Structure 1
Amino acid sequence: MSSPNTAPRRRTALLAPLALALACVFALPSTASAADRISGKPFATRSEVYAPHAMAATSHPLTTQIALDVMKAGGSAVDAAIAANAALGLMEPTGSGVGGDLFAIVWDPKTKKLYGYNGSGRSPKSLTLAEFQKRGLKEIPPTGPLPVTVPGAVDGWFALHERFGRKPIADDLAPAIRYAREGHPVHEVIAYYWNASVPKLSKWPGFKEQFTIDGRAPRVGEMWRNPNLANTLEQIAKGGRDAFYKGDIARTIDAYFKANGGFLSYEDLASHHGEWVEPVSSNYRGYDLWELPPNGQGIAALQILNILEAYDLKSYGFGSVEHVHLFTEAKKLAFADRARWYADPAFEKSSPVARLISKEYAAQRRKLISMDKALLEVQPATPKQLDQGDTIYMTVADADGMMVSLIQSNYRGMGSGMAAPGLGFIFQDRGEQFVLKEGHPNSFAPGKRPFHTIIPAFVTRQGKPWLSFGVMGGAMQPQGHAQILMNLIDFGMNLQEAGDAPRIQHDGSTDPAGQAEAMSDGGEVDLETGYPYETIRELMRRGHSVRSALGPYGGYQAIMVNPNGGYVGASESRKDGQAAGY
């Protein structure tokens, strides 16, 4: 998810770096109260969750309970993930829904393998780069009909279910349908983002009628019902994926976009297909982190950790200037490649993934880092150097050992604002991530998948499952993946503490979507409350622009295999969610 306050290059909306740094002198860490807990863990806001049979961690307490109910009734972890994801589209429309895309990594205990699924949709076939140029556009707008791409989530549900489901998919969708008809109370963080979205999206046809109460967002604790979505999910439950992509729903979508200046068509929906892909990995101090290859940004986390592996972060310590400085510099290097090389492999066939995530390439890039001075400009790798080769996140694990790492999104908060009449969902605006420049790997083309920010993650150790996790939130996601692994492996935190510890976000790298100029000033380092003042001052001395920001630090959920049996769960303290098991 890209929430309303995580837009690219948020340079002018925040206080001056020096004023913020001085304010941090007097600020207690946001996790300070955790130090009074009897566990003594300085960053854990609550305990890890332990369960002997199954576990679910989602960004909404009710969807966590839905996932557990499905598994108690005999469903697999995939059944539970589908049920929870469908319910999140109802309960957390600020970050998810059937109008968006889906990615997943599944550990199958029978084959003892990881399976990756890329459920991203393509651009309308009738929309061309020339059309944007004719309109005088330099960038694709974030809302309205132009950034809409084919929704891939429903197809993703059925692909996952066909391979790993045990219950009828109608059973998986039944809880969401019931809550959509009977209603559910809106939670705190979701209400905040919903309220922020309404003024921006109410001008688009169908949004105000279907996603407001008398023109306003639902308030905290207020009951929300969505009978239109219930009807849509019932059609999908009865008619399968084709009810969405080839039936009356598709015809309603086609008519809606034709009537409102859009390009998404029946043909685009009918021809959609996601695909199973091989996850890729790199080893970090004995742990294999697995990500999905582009068109997503997951391999940026692998690049960051490959660069950092040469440094003794444990001896530097969490919150030290070396910790923050080295992470920031590694992120800059990875994101320079992200802007240049990450794109739809069906169009950018020369994308050098194997070389980008290699240890040799990391050693080459590491030479650009100085311990005493921040990088102001970073160029991506050249072909010669490479010729060797708001979102929701949730995770579920069942009693048989199947584990699912799943992420799903409308892209920017509640998406495009386009909501076809009677369907009860909003279309994603993922097409905003295309570049309106010929020759760029991520240049707009008909039937092409855009660069994607949403990435699930998985970690194995010695070929066995260890951790299923993710950190939602735009460009924060690979940064968050790397930080969670550093917290667990380098700094010895437990699963909950690793997510609660204050985070780093570097902003200002060159953007894959071309929405900002190339980085020339080193960008900005956002530090969540809790970093020592001495670290902030020393970062500034080394040339970093340090600031604080409200909210762009992501949302984390995780399930770890308990070596004593069962699972350990953790959930994001910055969101409304819950980890629970049985």
Structure 2
Amino acid sequence: MSLFKIAFSVCAICMATCLPLLNPSPCEAEVDLKRDALGEKGMVAAATPQASEIGVEILKKGGNAVDAAVAVGFALGVLEPNASGLGGGGFMMIHLAKTNKTVFLDFREKAPQKAKADMYELGGNDLPLNNANKLGALSVAVPGEVAGLLTALGQYGVMSRQEVMAPAIKRAKQGVKVTPVMAGLMTKYYDTLLSCPSTASIYLDEELPKMPGDTIKNPDLAKTLELISQKGRDAFYKGPLAQKIVEFMKKQGGIISLEDLADYRVRQRQPVKGTYRGYEILSAAPPSSGGTHVIELLNIMENSDLKKMGPDNPLTWHLWAEAMKLVYADRARYSGDADFAKVPLNGLLSKAYAGELFKRIDRKKTAEKPEPGDPWKYESASTTHYSVMDSQGNMVAVTKTLNFFFGSGLTVPGTGILLNDEMADFDFKPGQANSIAPGKRPLSSMSPTLILKDGKSVACLGSPGGKRIITTVALIISNLLDHGMDLQAAINAPRICQYHQGPLKFEKRLPKDVQEKLRQMGHELEEKGAYDLYFGGAQGVSFDRKAAGLHGAADPRRDGRALGF
């Protein structure tokens, strides 16, 4: 790289932190808060406006909510490649209104057969050397996205692969314009993109971060999508394309084999179920910890009269923070892939257990580091999200990911496929519920969630954001059901997150008097931006039975927008 390029690169990185234009989290004055839409026949809320347009196109052509969700899923891998794609995986919640059936599809990535609990060499800080679980070939788990989306289409859709994949192929051929949010992420993850020549050739411009308005061109991805549309899942998991993935992995020091790809299977699981203020809550089951702990958090908070207290009451935020601590302590202790580890699922979902945890909260001061509870005695027997609903009340909520933005940084040459770094979601030490094992799916916080009332569709929602997904989804549900906000207001509202240790992270829009009162209660506060990408990018759709209409809403913290007709 020339001295000029080096200097320009340094300037670009500086600009990303200094200029609002390139900052992934928008400043308060720049935020477009009106991301919602109304419709009667169909609604899509996705992480980019173009993806929402594609979903609406499919609905207008006679597709159902699942067809639209699959089309949006493939399109987002093109339009928002930093967050998800063919090299990743995810979860899908489907509610079929006619039969009142709810399905949870788990197409989470899984560890290769050669993976071991102690596969990473640890350094002096007791962490994997060279971030090997986050970057490069040993961070890659077996992808599940293609299998997941095509399974949903085959079982619950009414359109063909060619019909639902055509919009994604078209956008891949045309190229994608870089948004300010994406430009900021490209600069922030510059080293990741630069680490692999086949990745740099797509997402960098002569080894420099792309700027807003530039175009990402990935013709190889268009060819890969065309191949999948013609030949189905076997085009990805078997044959020449699978061979390319495996050969590249081997060359890079990875361990994914042809057998790993050929043996990948989507799991259809029972969603976790709970209630909140008389509404039914259905969400993702293990290996996601998300749905379980969303319901656990809501169960704890149901013991307080949040409606009477109001959303700006310091006590309201204090109770949320203390409940979050208890939930994250339980998550760290008990959660893992239930196919490999015993998870006290019924205990964690128990209202009696939540009541016991609520009694541990001191209403006047914060607990320093709460210990996990004992749910066993109550036991019996980076990322994107989008939501789709049609006029029949069918709902689909999908959260899918590459894990960290731009995943492992590795793009398989000649395919355009950017690979995940999901091995980072395992505990890298043996003996834990979430330790690495061959064929195991890593713990996730993804929480695509459905809300029903008396068996009728009310809303579908979810968010990216790592472990913050749990708190984001719970806060939005509370804003809807406790404070009577519409869906866009519920998504726009300030957010906090409090892990079981460390500072309480909050958006600086939280009222100053609330901040001061929380400090007096002993909370250590860490301020984030007004609408901070740290807290995800929720997308949702609700059904207003009085108006007989659909309301879609998208998060101003990302590029999303809802569209309906």
TM-score, length of structure 2 as denominator length: 0.90
Task: Indicate the residue corresponding to 1:89 in structure 2.
Answer: 77
Paired residue for 2:537, among 530, 550, 555?
555
Distance 1:200 1:32 in 2: 31
Q: How does 1:254-403 map to 2 (within 5 A)?
A: 254-297=246-289, 298-348=291-341, 350-382=342-374, 385-388=377-380, 390-403=382-395
Measured against aligned partners, the alpha-carbon deviations of 1:214-241 in whole angstroms (never above 9, x if no partner) come to 2123321222221010011011111100
CA contact (8 A) 1:129 1:444 kept: yes
Distance 1:447 1:285 in 2: 39
Paired residue for 1:105, among 85, 90, 93?
93
What is the DSSP-based 3-state SS (H/G/I as helix, E as strand, rest coil) of the residue aligned with 1:131?
coil
The aligned amino acid for 1:532 is P
1:575 is aligned to 2:558: yes
CA contact (8 A) 1:54 1:567 kept: yes
Distance 2:270 2:504 in 1: 33
Distance 1:395 1:387 in 2: 32
Q: In the TM superposition, what is the alpha-carbon distance from 1:101 to its structure 2 partner?
A: 0.7
Task: Indicate the residue corresponding to 2:223 in structure 1.
Answer: 231
Distance 1:217 1:30 in 2: 21
Q: In the TM superposition, what is the alpha-carbon distance from 1:50 to its structure 2 partner?
A: 1.3
Task: Indicate the residue corresponding to 2:163 in structure 1.
Answer: 171
Task: Indicate the residue corresponding to 1:57 in structure 2.
Answer: 45
Q: In the TM superposition, what is the alpha-carbon distance from 1:455 to its structure 2 partner?
A: 2.0
Q: In the TM superposition, what is the alpha-carbon distance from 1:33 to its structure 2 partner?
A: 9.9
What is the DSSP-based 3-state SS (H/G/I as helix, E as strand, rest coil) of the residue aligned with 2:138?
coil
Runs of 4+ in structure 1 deviating by more than 6 angstroms, as ranges, are 29-34, 134-137
Distance 2:197 2:252 in 1: 8
Task: Indicate the residue corresponding to 2:483 in structure 1.
Answer: 491
CA contact (8 A) 1:205 1:420 kept: no
Distance 2:528 2:98 in 1: 45
Task: Indicate the residue corresponding to 1:116 in structure 2.
Answer: 104
What is the DSSP-based 3-state SS (H/G/I as helix, E as strand, rest coil) of the residue aligned with 1:272?
coil
CA contact (8 A) 2:393 2:456 kept: no
What is the DSSP-based 3-state SS (H/G/I as helix, E as strand, rest coil) of the residue aligned with 2:224?
helix
1:33–1:490 Cα change, 3 Å: farther
Q: In the TM superposition, what is the alpha-carbon distance from 1:97 to its structure 2 partner?
A: 0.8
What is the DSSP-based 3-state SS (H/G/I as helix, E as strand, rest coil) of the residue aligned with 1:86?
helix
What is the DSSP-based 3-state SS (H/G/I as helix, E as strand, rest coil) of the residue aligned with 2:396?
strand
Task: Indicate the residue corresponding to 2:242 in structure 1.
Answer: 250
Measured against aligned partners, the alpha-carbon deviations of 1:324-364 in whole angstroms (never above 9, x if no partner) come to 1100111111111111111111111x211111111111011
Distance 1:383 1:537 in 2: 34
What is the DSSP-based 3-state SS (H/G/I as helix, E as strand, rest coil) of the residue aligned with 1:548?
strand
Q: In the TM superposition, what is the alpha-carbon distance from 1:89 to its structure 2 partner?
A: 0.7
Measured against aligned partners, the alpha-carbon deviations of 1:514-562 in whole angstroms (never above 9, x if no partner) come to xxxxx3xxx2111212222211111111111012124311111111112
1:143 is aligned to 2:139: no
What is the DSSP-based 3-state SS (H/G/I as helix, E as strand, rest coil) of the residue aligned with 2:73?
helix
Tell me the C-alpha RMSD between the 2 structures.
2.1
* Paired residue total: 532
CA contact (8 A) 1:471 1:556 kept: yes
What is the DSSP-based 3-state SS (H/G/I as helix, E as strand, rest coil) of the residue aligned with 2:268?
strand
Paired residue for 1:468, among 449, 460, 468?
460
What is the DSSP-based 3-state SS (H/G/I as helix, E as strand, rest coil) of the residue aligned with 1:390?
coil
Measured against aligned partners, the alpha-carbon deviations of 1:444-497 in whole angstroms (never above 9, x if no partner) come to 112111111222111011111100111221111110111001111111211111
CA contact (8 A) 2:408 2:419 kept: yes
Measured against aligned partners, the alpha-carbon deviations of 1:27-59 in whole angstroms (never above 9, x if no partner) come to xx977999xxxxxxxxx9327421111111111
Unmatched 5+ residue regions in structure 2?
1-16, 18-25
Identical-pair percentage: 33
Distance 1:386 1:438 in 2: 27
What is the DSSP-based 3-state SS (H/G/I as helix, E as strand, rest coil) of the residue aligned with 2:559?
coil
Distance 2:402 2:479 in 1: 29
1:389–1:543 Cα change, 3 Å: farther
Paired residue for 2:144, among 152, 155, 167?
152
Q: How does 1:193-208 map to 2 (within 5 A)?
A: 193-208=185-200
Tell me whether 289-298 or 44-53 shows the greater mean CA deviation: 44-53
Q: How does 1:32-47 map to 2 (within 5 A)?
A: 45-46=33-34
Task: Indicate the residue corresponding to 2:113 in structure 1.
Answer: 125
What is the DSSP-based 3-state SS (H/G/I as helix, E as strand, rest coil) of the residue aligned with 1:343?
coil
The aligned amino acid for 1:100 is G
Unmatched 5+ residue regions in structure 1?
1-13, 15-28, 35-43, 510-518
CA contact (8 A) 2:461 2:538 kept: yes
CA contact (8 A) 1:430 1:452 kept: no
Task: Indicate the residue corresponding to 2:212 in structure 1.
Answer: 220
What is the DSSP-based 3-state SS (H/G/I as helix, E as strand, rest coil) of the residue aligned with 1:326?
helix
What is the DSSP-based 3-state SS (H/G/I as helix, E as strand, rest coil) of the residue aligned with 1:559?
strand
Distance 1:415 1:73 in 2: 34
